[in-house]
Structure 1
Amino acid sequence: MSVAIVIPARYASTRYPGKPLVELTLPDGSRKSLIRMTWDAAQQVGGVDHIHVATDDDRIRDHCEAFGASVVMTSEAARNGTERCAEAAEAVGADLIVNLQGDAPLTPPWFVEALIDGIGQADVATPVLRCDRKTYDMFVEDRRAGRVGGTTAVFDRAMRGLYFSKEVIPWIDPTKVPDPVPVFHHVGAYAYTPAALRSYASWPEGELERREGLEQLRFLENGAHVACVEVEARGRTFWELNNPADVARIETALKENG
């Protein structure tokens, strides 16, 4: 089975325009763009045959090609990373397409490897990470401040996805937060079959997808099997760059992760 990682990247982000080209400070004091950091993270994943950046922006293409990345140009019509992956899949031609989103440079390789191993008979596989108290508090802090931060996931006993939300679900009485915290952080990565991507591209945008701004809800709204694969942080901090405020969080996590 051939596996390709596709890193979708667009310049015109609603919440953070130009996000892929934002530079972060590494622990050694050097600076590196967000998309370059994600490319480097993809290089650490085992069992992958090809890695490509998928973009519609010449600035991102030129930047990525300058550090040696393979770039697949996609149309401006792609509304989210999954639609962009669906376009790129035709050019990539792999048996399994992995979407490693360009704003998640802290994604450990074992998260992605778990998807490749765990998709089974599902249409889509995506990682979920149980929140520790620090991460849960960051979710709650973002919502109190009116920021749309990370995404949470709920699933059934067979680990089949039931819902994903930018709200913190399930709700927990703030005076009785249990240990372990029963909230799972949805990690922004996916493994898809080519057939699932073709179907996705043929479906209209769903009501829940539009309201939440979460692309994976289109799969659930159309009855697709989305497998949630639980992963472990192994002592590392995970967070995505969703808002400008997350730059400092990621830079801190880089130092903590070594």
Structure 2
Amino acid sequence: MVVTAIIPARFASTRFPGKPLADLMGKPMIQWVYERTMQAEVVNRVIVATDDRRIYDAVQTFGGEAVMTRSDHPTGTDRLAEVASSLKCDLIVNVQGDEPLIDPAMIDAAVRPLLNDPAIAMGTLKTPIRDSRECLSPHVVKVVTDQNDFALYFSRSLIPFPRDFYEEMEANPLKVGAFKHIGLYVYRRDFLIDYPRLPSTPLERTESLEQLRALEHGYRIKVVTTDLISHGVDTPEDLDRVRGLLQSS
């Protein structure tokens, strides 16, 4: 199968304008994401999808591949679908443009179930929550899965809720058995093209989590467990943290 990774990248950001072009050890952040994605074993091609000429030019400058998209897409998935409609491939990987330390092995882990089972339309990742603050943070999305590792639900609330040992959570968050969702997605190309056309759903709107649309319309999402950690950049302070990790490595 042919696997294409697409990295959506917008210049506009409420908390961090120009984030994809922020300098990180002498390179724009989007270059770190691109180069790490290229290292994934299962990926055949990497494309940055952007609506900003500055990002497009930066990707061209470091030798990457970029495409310009419409600027009126409400979500990154819509931007992916626009690009996917012109591609000849089997699987599309959505790699977030604010993950400069993304481990290529995480991409491989998410993709392989779809390579092995043609019935799976969509896949993603989860990792155990080790910090009690993340258990309670609405900014950390949690996921619960069935016995075959298909998603049952995604939520900004703590799921599952540890009724019998909630007070112990701060001392031992791993005892809760909660998992953090990692926002890396794999789609079959045809499914991705159709996905934005699905009507928005009540749970999706309530939680403001787009992946719930797929579940509410009856599609299954394979969720692979990983112990690898991602370090997303939402603010300039996050970028300083990532810079410190690179300097100490």
Q: CA deviation at 1:45?
A: 0.4
Q: Which runs of 4+ in 1 moved over 6 A?
A: none
Matches within 5 A, 1:43-58: 43-58=38-53
**Counterpart pick for 1:223 among 218, 222, 226:** 218
The question of whether the paired residues in 1 share the 8 Å contact of 2:30 and 2:98 is answered with: yes
Structure 1 103/213 Cα, relative in aligned 2: closer, same or farther at 3 Å? Answer: farther
> Equivalent residue for 1:130?
128
Verify the 8 A CA contact 1:115 1:190 in the aligned structure 2: yes
Query: In structure 1, how many angstroms separate the alpha carbons of the residues matched to 2:111 and 2:207?
Result: 27
Equivalent position to 1:250, from 234, 242, 249: 242
Q: Which amino acid aligns with 1:170?
A: P
Equivalent in the alignment of 1:170: 160
Q: Distance in 2 between matches of 1:66 and 1:252?
A: 26
Secondary structure of residue in 2 paired with 1:242: coil
Q: Any idea what SS the aligned residue of 1:199 has? A: helix
Report the counterpart of residue 6 of structure 2 in structure 1: 6
Number of residue equivalences: 241
Are the aligned partners of 1:97 and 1:192 in contact in 2 as well (CA < 8 Å)? yes
Give the Cα separation in 1 of the matches to 2:180 and 2:66: 29
Q: What's the offset of the Cα at 1:201?
A: 2.0
Which aligned pairs between 1:27-42 and structure 2 lie closer than 5 A? 30-42=25-37
Q: CA RMSD in A?
A: 2.2
Distance 1:22 1:217, change over 3 A: farther
Mapped partners of 2:202, 2:245: distance in 1: 35
1:130, 1:181 within 8 Å by CA — same for their partners in 2?
no
| Structure 2 counterpart of 1:164, one-letter code | F
CA 1:239 to 1:181, structure 2 compared with 1: closer, same or farther past 3 Å?
farther
Compute the displacement of 1:140 (Å): 5.1
Q: Note closer, same or farther for the CA distance 1:185–1:249 as it changes in structure 2 (3 Å cut).
A: farther
In structure 1, list runs of 5 or more residues that go unmatched. 25-29
Please give the secondary structure, in 2, of the residue aligned with 1:61: helix
SS at match of 2:37: helix
Indicate which of 143, 160, 168 corresponds to 1:153: 143
Shift of 1:82: 1.5
Please name the residue that 1:62 is paired with.
57
Distance (whole Å) between structure 2 residues aligned to residue 170 and residue 250 of structure 1: 30
TM-score using structure 1 length: 0.84
| Cα deviation, residue 215, structure 1 | 2.4
Q: Which amino acid aligns with 2:241?
A: R
Deviations 1:173-226 (A, max 9, x none): 243435455121211211100121122121133333334332222211211111
Q: Distance in 2 between matches of 1:205 and 1:18?
A: 29
For 2:180 and 2:63, how far apart are their aligned partners in 1? 32
Moved more, 118-127 or 180-189: 180-189
Q: Per the alignment, do residues 255 and 168 of structure 1 end up closer, same or farther by CA in structure 2, a change over 3 Å counting?
A: farther
**Structure 2, unaligned stretches of length 5 or more?**
none
| Identical-pair percentage | 37
Report the equivalent of 2:79.
Answer: 84
Letter in 1 for 2:120: A
Is the deviation greater in 202-211 or in 3-12?
Answer: 202-211
